[in-house]
Amino acid sequence: MKEEKKECLYIGQTAIYKGPFKSVNDDEDHTFERGIPLEICTDTADKLARPPYKGMFIITEPKSEGEEPCCPPGEC
């Protein structure tokens, strides 16, 4: 049974492949390079957070409103 595709929304999530390979590709032509964040849609984030992919990726959530990027004092 083919998995039903959910709505694909880009909300600022990223996936970071943890390894052990240098890179991996999925069936939707995403190329995940080890240690490099890649912007992903909500559908892909959901898939990567569940087995069999769970634990192979770090999924980052979008920044909350009001969050500022970190920088040394006096350099912002």
Please state the pTM of the whole predicted model: 0.73
Written as tens digits, the pLDDT of the chain (76 aa) is: 345 566 889 999 999 999 999 999 998 899 999 999 999 999 999 999 999 999 999 999 987 765 555 666 666 5
Please give the helix or strand (H or E) that residue 17 lies within, else none: strand 14-17
Q: How far is CA 5 from CA 9, 42, 44, 46, in A?
A: 12, 11, 10, 11
Give the C-alpha separation, 75 to 54, whole Å. Answer: 38
Q: What is the CA radius of gyration of the chain?
A: 15
Structure tokens at 68: 């500022």
- DSSP lists the bridge partners of residue 17 as 34, 57
